[in-house]
Amino acid sequence: MSLRDCIERLEKAGDLVRIRREVDRRFELAAVAKKLDGGPAVIFENVRGASMPVILGTDGTKERVAQNLGVKPAQLSDCLSRGIGEPVPWKKVTDGPVRARRVQAPFEIDALLPVPHHYEKEPAPFITGGIVVARDPDSGVLNASYNRMQLKGGTRCGMYMLLRHLHQIYEKNLARGRPTEVAVVLGMDTAVRLAAAPGGANIPLELDEFAIAGGLRGRPLEMVNCETVDLLVPADAEIVLEGRLLPGVMEDEGPMAEFTGVYGNDAPKHVFEASGIMMRESPLYQDVLPFAAEHLLMLGLPYEGVLYRYVRAMVPGLHDVHITPGGCGKFVAVLSLTKRDDGDAKNAILGAFGAIRDIKIVIVVDPDIDIGNPREVEFALATRVQGDRDIILIPGAKGNDLDPIRDVYGYITKIGIDAT
Ligand code: MN
């Protein structure tokens, strides 16, 4: 289901509100979106000084995500796991809605796109919902990832890359003395958004995220050429910002309020320079409000699919997995397991840590516990855990770079709890 189809369905179901009053994109838009967090999706139709509306929350609840993918909420882990296991390659088409309007640099990104300034201590507006597309120079495979981008005036943005696929591509190009061409895709449906989100999972660079999205959609994505860079992007995107990551250039960036609910990581980052922009007629700017329900779901749901796939391959008694919103959508995994052997819970813990770098705490429970209910999980912790033999500590491990409790060397201690 495309973003436009999704909006139509949400509107009919009364699950979308339109805000017609003028709002300021400096703080006010984010404040209103925060008030509506966990509720309906929202379109801000009248953003001061902007030529297009801003949309948030189309994937703001688990039920909505499941509906957008055409499955029941209970089938989500299985569905996401299938997207990874049975990817459907995309196909190239010559034209598509996103190519309707095309502008070449120079321009002011800030004048063309209504990028909200979300939180008070952020130095500038950040593009938070941009799916960054790049091509691996060795294999030619496309990569898609979420990367925060700080507006710096004109065509320039800061770009924050964790040490993952986009960074690997950047380093390969840097070694050849070349910039990295990127296309920032804004305004996508649930399948593409979830496919681009599992940063920190052991999905190989060679697995194209748009093929994962095809697996989730159940049919190939249609992709079109960009205008100023040699890349392909989904034909039904709302907006595509094209440009280059400048080789070896680092500038101050941040802080930004991150998924942990604290301002994170103000340090020099890489620099993006835009060369062009493509957009639909009457485009929508899709924003992600950091540390809101939609953000945490977009982080956690792909991890559930990854865990379901990889841990189940090792421990077949695994029924279901849950990445908790209280764990910032990244740090805490609860696994439901029917043990066939007493060691299964410990093996499941090791499997989960092996599958996803960012997971810090794994709790394994018996199938009588509802893993979506924190009270039941606490009951298992309270009545089924002996601290000296059921808890595993793995100090000195690599976690997420935005974890506020990482030590000065960036390490964290992983915690596995057998609450069966
Ligand atoms: Mn990738």
What's the gap in Å between 413 CA and the centre of ligand 1?
Answer: 26
pTM of the model: 0.95
What's the gap in Å between 80 CA and the centre of ligand 1?
Answer: 16
What's the gap in Å between 204 CA and the centre of ligand 1?
Answer: 6
What's the gap in Å between 23 CA and the centre of ligand 1?
Answer: 36
The DSSP-derived string for 77-143 is: HHHHHHHHHS----EE-S--GGGSEEEESS--HHHHS---B-STT-SS-EE-S-EEEEE-TTT--EE
pLDDT in tens, 357-398: 999 999 999 999 999 999 999 999 999 999 999 999 999 999
Closest of 365, 360, 332, 331 to residue 348, by C-alpha: 365
What's the gap in Å between 390 CA and the centre of ligand 1?
Answer: 35
Query: 354 with 310: CB under 8 angstroms?
Result: yes
Backbone angles phi, psi at 366, to 5 degrees: -75, 165
The DSSP 8-state label assigned to residue 26 in this structure reads: B
What's the gap in Å between 179 CA and the centre of ligand 1?
Answer: 19
What's the gap in Å between 378 CA and the centre of ligand 1?
Answer: 35
What's the gap in Å between 207 CA and the centre of ligand 1?
Answer: 6
Residue 203 has pLDDT above 90, yes or no: no
Question: What is the reported pLDDT for 318?
Answer: 97
| Residue 94, token pair as written in the block | 């010559």
Question: What is the reported pLDDT for 187?
Answer: 98
- Mean pLDDT (the chain) is 96
What's the gap in Å between 224 CA and the centre of ligand 1?
Answer: 19
What's the gap in Å between 303 CA and the centre of ligand 1?
Answer: 14
Question: What is the reported pLDDT for 210?
Answer: 97
Question: What is the reported pLDDT for 202?
Answer: 81
What's the gap in Å between 52 CA and the centre of ligand 1?
Answer: 30
Provide the pairing of β-strand 156-159 with 131-135: unpaired
> Kindly report the CA angle at 279 between 149 and 272, in degrees rounded to 5?
25
Q: How confident is the model at residue 240 (pLDDT cuts 50, 70, 90)?
A: very high
pLDDT in tens, 315-331: 999 999 999 999 999 99
What's the gap in Å between 144 CA and the centre of ligand 1?
Answer: 6
What's the gap in Å between 172 CA and the centre of ligand 1?
Answer: 15
pLDDT in tens, 96-130: 999 999 999 999 999 999 999 999 999 999 999 99
Mean per-residue pLDDT, 300-327? 95
**Nearest 10 degrees: Cα torsion 189, 192, 197, 201:** 150
What's the gap in Å between 331 CA and the centre of ligand 1?
Answer: 20
The DSSP-derived string for 196-211 is: T--TTB---TTS-HHH
Residue 200 has pLDDT above 90, yes or no: no
Q: How confident is the model at residue 199 (pLDDT cuts 50, 70, 90)?
A: confident
What's the gap in Å between 22 CA and the centre of ligand 1?
Answer: 39
What's the gap in Å between 359 CA and the centre of ligand 1?
Answer: 18
What's the gap in Å between 178 CA and the centre of ligand 1?
Answer: 20
Residue 17 has pLDDT above 80, yes or no: yes
| Residue 153, token pair as written in the block | 């005036």
Residue 1 has pLDDT above 80, yes or no: no
Mean per-residue pLDDT, 290-300? 95
pLDDT in tens, 70-87: 999 989 988 988 998 999
pLDDT in tens, 129-160: 999 999 999 999 999 999 999 999 999 999 99
Q: How confident is the model at residue 265 (pLDDT cuts 50, 70, 90)?
A: confident
| Residue 287, token pair as written in the block | 């924003």
What's the gap in Å between 169 CA and the centre of ligand 1?
Answer: 10
What's the gap in Å between 375 CA and the centre of ligand 1?
Answer: 36
Question: What is the reported pLDDT for 77?
Answer: 87
